[in-house]
Chains A and B, each alone.
Chain A
Amino acid sequence: QVQLVQSGAEVKKPGSSVKVSCKASGGTFSSYAFSWVRQAPGQGLEWMGGIIPIFGTANYAQKFQGRVTITADESTSTAYMELSSLRSEDTAVYYCGRDYLVRGAIRYWGQGTLVTVSS
């Protein structure tokens, strides 16, 4: 059974960076797409970007280009999302997800990581 376990909640100052991890277990790591999706309080889902570890290159939503970096470490089966220049509007729950049979349909999800940006 595939499990995605994310790192714990973070509180950050405006202008700083945050790095959230997503450790996968129970399945092959490298050939599936890992996505990062965020959800601000009371708002909808927002796809930030993703990576297929075996290819190594990440894709990013235009909104986050230049501010987000998504990486994957095959040796530890862990995906990472780093968001820089944080502002209050980045306060959200950040989810990692992984597809399965269909590239793009996110079947497995982490539990979510709350990132709070506050001075």
Chain B
Amino acid sequence: DIVMTQSPDSLAVSLGERATINCKSSQSVLYSSNNKNYLAWYQQKPGQPPKLLIYWASTRESGVPDRFSGSGSGTDFALTITSLQAEDVAVYYCQQYYTTMWTFGQGTKVEIK
């Protein structure tokens, strides 16, 4: 299975500041035939199921605020929240869907400083 490793495990950011979460895959999730990275990001708030934020590493899901952005390619990815809002407090997960056995990162908890 592809192992997804996120860093840091948690971070505290002031309201209005930038938060960046990193995700590294144990092998490339870039499919050369279509030049797409098979990588998604999710947000999960307590007591709720996850919510899809981004797919193809950088395509924002409909309705997701544009302060959320994804970047990276191959094995190294990032989710950036510019201007953190109170409602962004959550745990964020990356997930690869490159192989038939999908895997998640361990999660990164984002809090307000």
Chain A contact residues, CB within 8 Å of chain B: 35, 37, 44-47, 50, 59-62, 95, 97, 101-107, 109-112
Contact = CB atoms under 8 A, between A and B. Distances in A.
Range of interface residues on B (Cβ < 8 Å): 20 to 34
Complex A-B, nearest 4 residue pairs according to Cβ-Cβ distance, in ascending order = A104-B97, A109-B49, A105-B55, A44-B107
A61 B97 CA distance: 12
B77 interface: no
A105 B51 CA distance: 10
A46 B44 CA distance: 13
Q: Is the interface of B mostly helix, strand, loop or mixed?
A: loop
22 contacts: A37-B50, A44-B91, A44-B93, A44-B104, A44-B106, A45-B42, A47-B101, A47-B103, A50-B102, A61-B1, A61-B101, A97-B50, A102-B55, A102-B97, A103-B97, A104-B95, A105-B52, A106-B42, A107-B52, A109-B51, A110-B49, A111-B49
Given A47-B101, A47-B102, A102 B49 contact: no
Interface in B35-49: 38, 40, 42, 44, 49
Interface of B: 1, 38, 40, 42, 44, 49-52, 55-56, 61, 91, 93, 95, 97, 100-107
Contacts of B52: 105-107
Contacts of A50: 102
B93 A45 contact: yes
